[in-house]
């Protein structure tokens, strides 16, 4: 017959040992001694069978409580020690970044590469700068007013279906959003021009846009657009058509041309879609262009008088045109990229080609 186990004393003793344990190893040793296979606790558990039912239940419960208590204490201690040990390990490799020696850093073995979207955007910007355009940027998080309202797209307008929009869960529902196109920058630019006493605008606005499109070979939910806006005296639809043609040949090459056909955008009137000679077949007709020899690139038109009203520009004195198209689409067409999703995979075997 062994002496009855003093459970309280055992718990007190083991928790004291855990509290003074200085390493996770020590915690493990204490835990094994108090709770392991050869511990008094386990031995007491084994001898429960010899007790009468009431005693067995009471002692059994006390043993379980003791085990749970000790396990919790051990876990806490282990976590604290682990954090301290990690901190110590990190501290041991501490650097004074002022101790920079001339040969500390590895020099690159080869050049990296800009992303294809960057090189495409740069080339587009350069083309437009050469044509006399400034390059202007604007925020990616916008209000309903800049993305829709000021652009003559009131709430519930059927045209809103053209942009499946990501809304942000801030403020009133559906008031703050990720811009679905770069057109809000036009509005901001015109507001700024009015605030400055109305100066003419000749600008392109490249940037990132967001639409709730499931990614596929031709669409990404996050994509890039470039938009152009000219507001000046005497600007006409003929100027728009001429500007599009100049850009097309300058960017895609002298054998690529443009044509316009009627379309609808709430913020331009008259509006047009612009197509360019198929860059694959050079106009003779192929599968990519459905045999037409033309590929749709973007939309354009004369700034709608309602938009001028919204920003406070006198549409009788000033006229203007706007156009816009996808930068990623341009890259896809120019480099014959079968699947748009390669642009966001960041596979270096793809990235290093450009």
Partner 1 sequence: MRVPLSWLREYAPFGDDVDALAQTLDDLGLVVEGAERIGEGLGDVVVAEVVEIGPIEGADRIRRVVVDDGTRPVEVVCGAWNFAVGDRVPLAPVGSVLPGGFAIGRRKLRGVVSDGMLCSSRELALGDDHQGILVLAPDDDGERPAPGTPLLAALGLEADVVFDVAVEANRPDALCMTGVARDLAARLGLQLALPEPPPLAAAAVATGDADGLVAVESPDLCPRFAARVLTGVAVGPSPRWLARRLELAGMRPINNVVDASNYVMLELGQPTHPYDRDRLAGGRLEVRRARPGERIVTLDGVERVLGQPGPGLGDTGEDCVICDGSGAPVALGGVMGGASSEIGPETRTVLLEAAYFAPLAVARTAKRLGLRTEASVRFERGCDPEGIDRAVARLCELLALTAGPDFSVEPGATDVRGDVPRPARLRVRTGRVNALLGTGFSDEDVAGALAPLGMDVEAVEDGVLEVTVPTFRPDIRPAPHGEADVAEEVARASGYSLLPRTRPAWPQPGRLTARQRDRRRLREVACGLGAFEAWTSAFATPEEHALGGVTLDAVEVANPLAADERLLRASLVPGLVGALRYNEERRSSGLRLFEVGSVFAVAPDGGSGGVPVRTTERFALALAGPGDDAWSALAAWRVVADVLRVADWSVRHGVPGRPAPSPLHPFRSGVLTCRAAGRDLVEVGVVGELHPQVTASLGLSDASGRSIRVGWLDLDLDVLLEPGSLSRRPEQAVPVSRFPSSDVDLAFVVDETVPAAAVASTLLDAGGAELESVTLFDVYRGPSVPEGTRSLAYRVRLCALDHTLTDAELAELRASMIAAVESGHGASLR
State which of positions 161-200 bind partner 1 (CB under 8 A). 161-162, 166-176, 178, 200
| Residue 157: contacted member of partner 1, Zn ion, none (CB under 5 to 8 Å, by partner type) | partner 1
Asked if residue 95 binds partner 1 (CB under 8 A), the reply is yes
SS3 252: helix
24-53 residues in contact with partner 1 (CB under 8 A) are none
**Residues in the chain, how many?**
354
Asked if residue 251 binds partner 1 (CB under 8 A), the reply is no
| Residue 291: contacted member of partner 1, Zn ion, none (CB under 5 to 8 Å, by partner type) | none
Burial call 306-345: b when 16+ CB within 10 Å, e when fewer: bbbebbebebeebbbbbbbbbbbbbbbbeeebeebebbee
Q: How far is the CB of 257 from Zn ion (least distance, A)?
A: 13
Whether 334 contacts 120, CB under 8 Å: yes
Stretch in the footprint of partner 1 (CB under 8 A) among 10-18, 26-34, 72-80, 111-119: 111-119
- In terms of Cα–Cα distance, which of 103, 278, 303 is closest to 201? 303
SS3 290: coil
Kindly state the tokens that stand for 37: 């296979």
Whether 329 contacts 343, CB under 8 Å: no
**Cα dihedral across residues 220, 165, 169, 190: positive or negative:** positive
Asked if residue 54 binds partner 1 (CB under 8 A), the reply is no
How many residues bind Zn ion (CB under 5 A)? The answer is 6
Asked if residue 142 binds partner 1 (CB under 8 A), the reply is yes
Q: How far is the CB of 313 from Zn ion (least distance, A)?
A: 40
| Residue 280: contacted member of Zn ion, partner 1, none (CB under 5 to 8 Å, by partner type) | Zn ion
The number of angstroms, rounded, from the C-alpha of 37 to the middle of its chain's C-alpha atoms is 53
203-232 residues in contact with partner 1 (CB under 8 A) are 208, 210, 212, 214, 221-222, 230, 232
Q: How far is the CB of 76 from partner 1 (least distance, A)?
A: 18
Instruction: State how far the Cα of 169 lies from the Cα of 58, in Å rounded to an integer.
Output: 55
| Residue 286: contacted member of Zn ion, partner 1, none (CB under 5 to 8 Å, by partner type) | Zn ion
Asked if residue 296 binds Zn ion (CB under 5 A), the reply is no
Q: How far is the CB of 108 from partner 1 (least distance, A)?
A: 3
Kindly state the tokens that stand for 113: 């590469």
Asked if residue 236 binds partner 1 (CB under 8 A), the reply is yes
Kindly state the tokens that stand for 77: 């201690």
| Residue 263: contacted member of partner 1, Zn ion, none (CB under 5 to 8 Å, by partner type) | partner 1
Asked if residue 281 binds Zn ion (CB under 5 A), the reply is yes
What's the Rg (C-alpha) of the chain? 35
Asked if residue 162 binds Zn ion (CB under 5 A), the reply is no
Residue in 35, 241, 250, 281 binding partner 1, rule: CB under 8 A = 241
Residue 106: CA atoms inside 13 Å, Cβ hemisphere, count?
A: 3
Q: How far is the CB of 337 from Zn ion (least distance, A)?
A: 16
SS3 347: coil
Asked if residue 79 binds partner 1 (CB under 8 A), the reply is no
Q: Which is nearer to partner 1, 46 or 106 (CB)?
A: 106
- In terms of Cα–Cα distance, which of 235, 329, 207 is closest to 276? 329
How many residues bind partner 1 (CB under 8 A)? The answer is 112
């Amino acid at each position: 017959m062994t002496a009855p186990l003093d459970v309280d004393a055992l718990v007190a003793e083991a928790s004291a040992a855990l509290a003074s344990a200085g390493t996770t190893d020590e915690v493990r040793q204490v835990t094994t001694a108090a709770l392991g296979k050869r511990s008094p606790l386990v031995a007491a558990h084994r001898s429960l069978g010899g007790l009468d039912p009431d005693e067995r239940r009471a002692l059994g419960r006390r043993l379980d409580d003791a085990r749970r208590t000790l396990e919790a204490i051990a876990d806490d201690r282990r976590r604290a020690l682990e954090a301290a040990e990690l901190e110590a390990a990190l501290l041991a490799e501490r650097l004074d970044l002022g101790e920079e020696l001339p040969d500390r850093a590895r020099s690159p073995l080869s050049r990296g590469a800009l992303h294809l979207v960057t090189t495409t955007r740069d080339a587009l910007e350069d083309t437009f700068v050469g044509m006399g355009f400034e390059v202007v940027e604007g925020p990616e998080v916008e209000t309903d007013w800049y993305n829709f309202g000021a652009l003559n797209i009131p709430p519930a307008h059927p045209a809103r279906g053209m942009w499946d929009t990501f809304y942000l869960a801030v403020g009133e529902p559906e008031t703050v959003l990720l811009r679905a196109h770069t057109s809000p920058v036009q509005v901001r630019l015109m507001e700024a021009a009015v605030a400055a006493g109305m100066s003419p605008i000749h600008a392109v606005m490249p940037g990132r846009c967001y639409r709730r499109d499931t990614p596929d070979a031709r669409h990404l939910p996050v994509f890039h657009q470039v938009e152009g806006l000219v507001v000046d005296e005497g600007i006409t639809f003929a100027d728009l058509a001429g500007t599009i043609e100049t850009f097309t040949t300058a960017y895609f090459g002298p054998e690529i041309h443009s044509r316009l056909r009627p379309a609808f955008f709430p913020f331009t009137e008259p509006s047009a879609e612009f197509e360019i000679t198929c860059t694959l077949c050079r106009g003779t007709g192929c599968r990519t262009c459905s045999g037409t020899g033309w590929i749709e690139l973007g939309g354009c038109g004369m700034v709608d008088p309602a938009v001028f009203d919204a920003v406070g520009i006198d549409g009788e004195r000033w006229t203007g045109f706007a156009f816009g198209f996808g930068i990623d689409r341009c890259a896809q067409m120019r480099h014959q990229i079968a699947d748009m999703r390669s642009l966001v995979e960041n596979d270096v075997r793809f990235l290093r080609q450009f």
